[in-house]
Amino acid sequence: MTVRRDFQEPPRSRPDLVIGREDLFTSAREQLGRGGSVLLHGPAGIGKSTVLRALAADYGASARTVLRCSATESESHLPFLALADLFGLVLDEVSGQLPAAQRTALESALTGRGESTLQRDGLALRLAVLSALRALAAKGPVLVVADDFQWLDAASAELLGFAARRLGDTPVQMLCAVRTEGQEYDRHLRASPPDTLAVRLGPLTRTQVSALLDHRGYTPLSRSTIRDIHRTSGGNPLFALELGRALAESPTRPRPGEPLPVPTSLRALVLSRLEMLSDEARRTLLVASAGARPTLALLHAAGREHAEAETAQAAALGLLATEAEGPAVRFAHPLISAALYAEAPAQERRAVHAALSTAASDPIERARHLALATTGTDPEVAARLAEAAALARDRGAPSVAASLGLLAARHTPADSTPGPDERRLQAAEDAITAGEADLARDIARDVLTRATVPAERVRAWMVVIEAAGQALGDVDAVFPQVLADAGDDPGLLALVHYQLAWRGLVVEGDFAEARQEAEHAARLAAEGEDRRTELMALSFQASTETLMGHPGAPATVKRALREPQDPYVACHHNGAGSARFRWLIMSDQLPEARATITALLREVRRRGMVESEVHFLRFLADTELRTGHCGRALDLARESLRLARDAGIGEGASAMLASLAEASAGDVDRALALAREAADHAEVDGDQMYLSRALAALGYAQLVAGDPAATVRSLRRVRELEHGLGINDPARGRWHGDLAEALVRIGEPGEAQDVIDTTRAHALRLGRESVLAVLDRAEAQVRAARGEHEGALVRLASVRDRLGRLGYGLEEARAAFALARLRAQAAALPRTGHAPLPGPASYDEAARLFRRCRALPWLRQVDAAVAAGSTPVEPASVAPPVALDALEGLASMERQVASLVMEGATNREIAARLFISVKTVEATLTRVYRKLGIRSRVDIVRLAAGRRTT
């Protein structure tokens, strides 16, 4: 098939491609852009055809001619079939340019007339294909697209290979896809040009599988279901989509602990070789498919006496992977195990589980198999499952505990104590711990349809609220219902008021209200003797007071850390340990903060607390970023973001921190995108607290990207948000210095000084030494903008040393950069009658410090400054006396307003300084413009600058 310049593939293939294939698509496209060829390879269903179609659509427009073929296994025996697909429609175009012998051989091969063969017309045919490609390329670039290259007939493959090796600089490129099932792909490269790039497509990650299923509309699927789909499919997109489709079409979901239903299409694909197995070998494989970690010893214990011979038979057929060492029995692909289990009758599956319930050595596995072998309710089975769930919880496997808890509830008689719903709620709480919020919410909603006991109803409502995460506005209607269910029970009310504290913070954006609710919850919990809730409320109160700059914060932190402690609260991301970490890092105690958060991260990983792990990875990344270990911070931030997206929790917060890390050590464009993503999450959730953090990250990324005007817009909004929230501690977001620096860059030193002065007052009251140092760095730049270079240089040198002593490596490097830049600027200014400015105008120290931090975006700024030189900063904030002559005809108020405009003050700043309204400022400026014969405040500044030059 031949398509000319207007070749366009349907856009449907592109969305699937960008899910998990971004890097390889980019490398393949760059290879094509350089004039090279690409060979995509990987197993069946891995997405080769999708990528090939998208690349052809993306790059085909740049080729004059696209030659395309797609072979099939059933037609691979037909000689020259692929050649006919490629050249059939262009034969008339090129035949006249071929020598007679070559033309005859090619026409005979393509039409079937004359019974041409490679053996008889070999050289003529080879030369004909080469000549045809050269003739087409003489009119413009040629792209050869071949899918399922492994099924090309041998004659066509040989001819293409001959031509490909001899094309040289001829503008002919090949884009091919070939299936490789473990074997080498080198032999396919022989049919490709020498410069071909081989690109292997590997399995998708769980997050990518989730995105693919979501794109195809297979939603909503719980995290546990997506995890099972990923495991069963092995990350193969075709298999994952088929499994997702089967689940979407199935009226019932699989029972806890059971494999996924495998559609007939996939069963036929992977089980065609089962018919060659003996019945006994098939039963042995069924036992292996039901076991969590099958070994030969387990198969023997389950009654499979000839396991060695039967597994060897299966391995010879490619159903099992051969292991060089170790006792494991591993299927060649997880889908084989799932399909084998799905094929077996229910009675046979129960018999297998019964055998494994005594053969398995692990008590959790024994309990799971016992449950799957049992039908109906059975209090003994339920009790064993509940014990197994508790053991899984202690081992740090809350997801397993949730699954076992649901099985326990299924086998619990209705009149038992504890009852089935109580066990379901425990399973829901385990699911919350495991980060499976959707599963937890479904369980709780189900319980609420039946529960009448207030304690159970409140407990279920708490799960619903917890599952909402930051989107508490979505469950706002729940609070009146849960308050009614709680009645006057102080223990139940404590749970509700703790969640109301979060609502006050996240939904209302009111720190004062949130603090009061937390304080009330702590009192109620103490009255109800609920130490866990009391500690959680105290921890929340402590964190809120810390962010508010409340004087009682240290005392509340100490109360939250008093014994007796609850191990769960101690390591929870909203618990006492987390509150202590926040206090330490905001108080510039970086080594203690790192030690605290490292220990907390270790513990939550041991316990399997996924949401806490997401947040603690972020906290540790933040700590490393402040200490100047930017590369380490970037790795941690990316890990936190991957886990957050995988779990579907904390995505906005992790994207925010990842943005800061990318802007400091990675890709600035990605930093901007992540900050906007974080802001979008916060906007959707109605979370003003995280919205301010996301916008602060955006402002920082914009500053690093060299867009100070955008930085000012973002950070001005942060200032408004935090003022409304009641956040007074500048160590919370540390954006104030960035705002002041950006304001200087856009010519607003007056507003910059106001930001510095206001922030400094809070920082002095709270003892925030690092914040004070950063503010001094910004103030030095304000001074430089006003022409006070010597004072600015002295202050910057002092700031650099102070930040170094405090351990803020990146801020120290930024101070060194500002110092070097100012020296370079000052050196360019005339120094008639003055002593030389102190220090050399060198960027070496800044470059050294940024390299030590691995702060690559900042290092690129240093390189750019060295290469381009620095533009001197002209004093701008104080109008010279001669400029004031033009103001003599103005009234007193008009003169004051005009003078402040010359200093760079905004209308709002002028109103604040002169104790008048902004509208009065605007009206006064209108009169000034009329009297001076100008049109805008810019003309006032120009007037000052013009008088200065006379």
Here the tokens at position 810 are 């990146």
pLDDT at 886: 56
Q: What are phi and psi of 333, to 5 degrees?
A: -150, 140
Long-range contacts of 378-382 (CB under 8 A, 24+ apart): 378/411, 379/411, 379/412, 379/413, 379/416, 381/411, 382/408, 382/409, 382/411, 382/412, 382/413, 382/416, 382/423
Which is nearest to 285 in space by CA: 274, 297, 272, 301?
A: 274
Cα distances (angstroms) measured from residue 257 to each of 16, 263, 317, 409: 30, 19, 28, 13
Here the tokens at position 876 are 């701008």
3-state secondary structure of 4: coil
pLDDT at 934: 77
What region, left, alpha or beta, does residue 112 occupy, with left being phi > 0 and alpha being psi -120 to 50 degrees? left
DSSP state, 272?
G
3-state secondary structure of 696: helix
CB atoms within 10 A of CB 696: 28
Secondary structure element (H or E) that encloses residue 69, with its range: strand 65-70
500 forms bridges with which residues in the sheet?
none
Which is nearest to 822 in space by CA: 778, 761, 855, 877?
A: 778
d(CA 115, CA 123): 15
Q: Which amino acid is at 478?
A: V
Give CA angle at 763 (762, 768), nearest 5°.
Answer: 150
- The pTM is what? 0.67
Give CA angle at 31 (29, 35), nearest 5°.
Answer: 110
Helices (H), 705-808: 708-725, 736-745, 749-766, 769-785, 789-806
pLDDT at 110: 79
pLDDT at 884: 41
d(CA 26, CA 152): 27
Q: Under 8 Å CB-to-CB from 686, ≥6 apart: which residues?
A: 471, 472, 473, 506, 507
d(CA 808, CA 810): 6
Are 685 and 473 within 8 A, CB to CB?
yes
Q: Which amino acid is at 394?
A: D
User: How many residues belong to the chain?
Assistant: 950
d(CA 938, CA 929): 11
pLDDT at 871: 40
What DSSP assignment string belongs to 497-517?
A: HHHHHHHHHHTS--HHHHHHH
Give CA angle at 101 (95, 105), nearest 5°.
Answer: 70
Here the tokens at position 572 are 């929870």
Secondary structure element (H or E) that encloses residue 159, with its range: helix 154-164
Which is nearest to 789 in space by CA: 752, 837, 720?
A: 837
d(CA 943, CA 890): 15
d(CA 162, CA 275): 42
Are 495 and 462 within 8 A, CB to CB?
yes
d(CA 708, CA 120): 73
DSSP state, 885?
G
Are 330 and 295 within 8 A, CB to CB?
no
Cα distances (angstroms) measured from residue 170 to each of 28, 130, 141, 193: 20, 10, 8, 11
- Letter string b/e over residues 2-15, b meaning 16 or more CB atoms within 10 A of that residue's CB: bbeeebebeeebee
The distance of Cα 731 from the centroid of its chain, to the nearest Å, equals: 26
Strands 320-321, 38-42: pairing is unpaired
CB atoms within 10 A of CB 469: 18
Q: What are phi and psi of 38, to 5 degrees?
A: -135, 135
70 forms bridges with which residues in the sheet?
147
d(CA 551, CA 545): 8
Which is nearest to 808 in space by CA: 795, 797, 799?
A: 799
Here the tokens at position 937 are 């405040």
Q: Burial of 345 by CB count in 10 Å (0-12 exposed, 13-18 middle, 19+ buried)?
A: exposed
Q: What are phi and psi of 21, to 5 degrees?
A: -120, 20
What DSSP assignment string belongs to 7-54?
A: ----TTHHHHHTTT-HHHHHHHHHHHHTT--EEEEESTTSSHHHHHHH
d(CA 671, CA 662): 5
d(CA 358, CA 365): 10
CA atoms within 13 A on the CB side of 537: 27
Cα distances (angstroms) measured from residue 291 to each of 253, 331, 363, 893: 21, 12, 13, 86
Enumerate residue ranges in the chain where pLDDT < 50: 1-17, 324, 832-840, 870-884, 945-950
Are 53 and 117 within 8 A, CB to CB?
no
